[in-house]
Amino acid sequence: MIATETFKPLVLAQAKARKVEPRLIVVKHPIGGLNADELRERIEAATKGLTEATTK
Amino acid sequence: MKDIADQEVIDLEDMDIEAFNAFATDQGWSDGMPLYVPTEDKVARFVETVRGDNRPYPPVPPRQVIPTVQALAANAVMAGCKPEYFPVVTAALRGVLDPDYNLHGTLATTHSCAPMVMVSGPIRHELKINCGSNCFGQGWQANATIGRALGLMLLNVAGAKPGEMDRSTQGNPAKFTFCFGENEEENPWTPYHVQRGFAATDSVVTVMSGEGPHNLNDHGSTTGDGLLTTFAGGMATPGANTIYGKGPMFVIIGPEHAATLKRDGFTIESIRQELYRRSRVHASRISVENQDTYISTGHKPDGDWFTIARSPDDIHITVAGGPGKHSAFIPSFGGTTVASTRIAR
């Protein structure tokens, strides 16, 4: 699951309510309202996190 | 040892109301205003008022806990309700637990939505629920505390803690309380709960996850057609959630506006049709990027115009308020429904 750092507490609180432990990739907040260059940094961070998570 | 939040009865040492409030605030139980102390005796008196309603409650999202009636009653006591208000509060809770209401989404969203609670039928007068002047405002214990009790249940049972599970960007004063009665006596058409298939003699609670009321001021129009032009102009806002999320909305017509519309032959159905047709937002009022957002979420424009509703059926109409030339538009969260529940007595 990919979440922004700002909404990580919401994800964890909802996960706790459902008694699950999600594997999280956390990127900087926000995502909405970014231009293409700004969004690229988020995509790269998410891709890096996903690659690391799936190659362990 | 159970966490304090999981305990059915919490034994506390004798404490005055200030000490209790300090304790409750520390526990995260408060909406920021003072609370009444939910003693066992008070809770028992509230529980007695809903003995005729034995239907179980489903798990309450986002926390997914199944509430006891005692836990619900404790929140109504803390809110300052009288015992006789409690069946209204529990009916409102059943409404927000309708799966189509999307309680999880409406509580966790960044949107400002709060549960709008509208009461219809004879119980309005029995409980002195304000349906007239200042019906959305302060001054009536029933309006103030019924809405507040539901809010405390959503905090303490559902787990909608601001900044954690409740992620509203700015919130909304209606999150403290948003409860009013229909003004059926000055409604020249059919009361809302009767529109929904209930008997006129039923007492019904209707809930919708809505923004606060947007005022629709029209002191100048002398015809129903003129009023609808003003209403539609006020509703055609690119900033309300409904234009993104698609969902229901209320137009709460003030009695004087309602009388003019009735005089000129408008019905609830024709008002719906006209408002749907007229309350469109021209593309020139929406940024190109935001138009792309609308379209990518399935909202195709009609030529250069974006509708604010999926159909006239999304526009719910009733009458409330007192003398004056004002009405109100209440857009919803979007991905939600309007749920009406008969009050079990």
Angle at B341 between CA B184 and CA B273, to 5 degrees: 55
* Contact by Cβ (8 Å): A2, A27: yes
Structure-token pair, residue B35 = 């609370």
* Contact by Cβ (8 Å): B158, B96: no
End-to-end CA distance of chain B: 38
Helices (H) and strands (E) counted in chain B, each on its own, are 13, 10
Confidence of residue B268 (pLDDT cuts 50, 70, 90): very high
Best of B154, B157, B165 to substitute, by most chain A Cβ atoms within 10 angstroms, is: B165
| Confidence check: pLDDT of B4 > 70 | no
Among residues B225, B233, B320, B322, the alpha carbon closest in space to that of B285 is found at B233
Chain B residues with CB within 8 Å of chain A CB: 61-64, 108, 159, 161, 163-165, 167
| Confidence check: pLDDT of B118 > 90 | yes
Cβ neighbours of B167 in A, within 8 Å: 7, 10
What is the average pLDDT value for chain B, to the nearest integer? 95
Cβ neighbours of B163 in A, within 8 Å: 9
| Confidence check: pLDDT of B10 > 90 | no
- The distance from CA A54 to its chain's CA centroid, rounded to whole angstroms, is 15
Q: Report the pLDDT averaged over residues B249-278.
A: 98
Our count of domains for chain B comes to: 1
Report the range of poorest mean pLDDT among B61-70, B107-116, B291-300: B291-300
| Confidence check: pLDDT of B243 > 90 | no
Summarised one tens digit per residue, pLDDT across range B244-261 is 778 999 999 999 999 999
Check CB contact under 8 Å for A7 and B167: yes
* Contact by Cβ (8 Å): B210, B331: yes
Check CB contact under 8 Å for B164 and A10: yes
Place of tokens 């939505």: B113
Per-residue confidence (pLDDT) for residue B1, from 0 to 100: 38
* Contact by Cβ (8 Å): B309, B331: no
Q: Which amino acid is at A29?
A: H
| Confidence check: pLDDT of B2 > 50 | no
Structural domain boundaries, residue B31? 4-342
User: Dihedral of the CA atoms B241, B184, B130, B176 (nearest 10)?
Assistant: -20
Question: What string of DSSP letters covers B116-151?
Answer: EEEEESTHHHHTT---STTTTSSS-HHHHHHHHHHH
- Per-residue b or e along B303-316, where b marks 16 or more CB atoms closer than 10 Å to that residue's CB: eeebbbbeebebbb
How far apart (Å, rounded) are the C-alpha atoms in residues B121 and B318? Answer: 13
Pick from B64, B163, B167: which is nearest to A17 by CB?
A: B64
Q: Report the pLDDT averaged over residues B91-117.
A: 97
| Confidence check: pLDDT of B291 > 60 | yes
Check CB contact under 8 Å for B108 and A10: yes
Best of A6, A10, A31, A35 to substitute, by most chain B Cβ atoms within 10 angstroms, is: A10
How far apart (Å, rounded) are the C-alpha atoms in residues B249 and B238? Answer: 14
Per-residue confidence (pLDDT) for residue B6, from 0 to 100: 57
| Contacting residues for B4 by C-beta, under 8 A, at least 6 apart | B10, B27
Q: What is the DSSP letter of B64?
A: T
How far apart (Å, rounded) are the C-alpha atoms in residues B189 and B195? Answer: 10
Helix or strand run (H / E) with residue B102: none
How far apart (Å, rounded) are the C-alpha atoms in residues B77 and B43? Answer: 7
Q: Report the pLDDT averaged over residues B313-334.
A: 97
Check CB contact under 8 Å for B164 and A13: yes
Distances in Å between the Cα of B280 and the Cα atoms of B283, B285, B329 are 9, 11, 14
Whether chain B has a CB inside 8 Å of the CB on A10: the answer is: yes
Summarised one tens digit per residue, pLDDT across range B42-86 is 999 999 999 989 899 999 999 989 999 999 999 999 999 999 999
Report the range of poorest mean pLDDT among A32-36, B137-141, B213-217, B253-257: A32-36
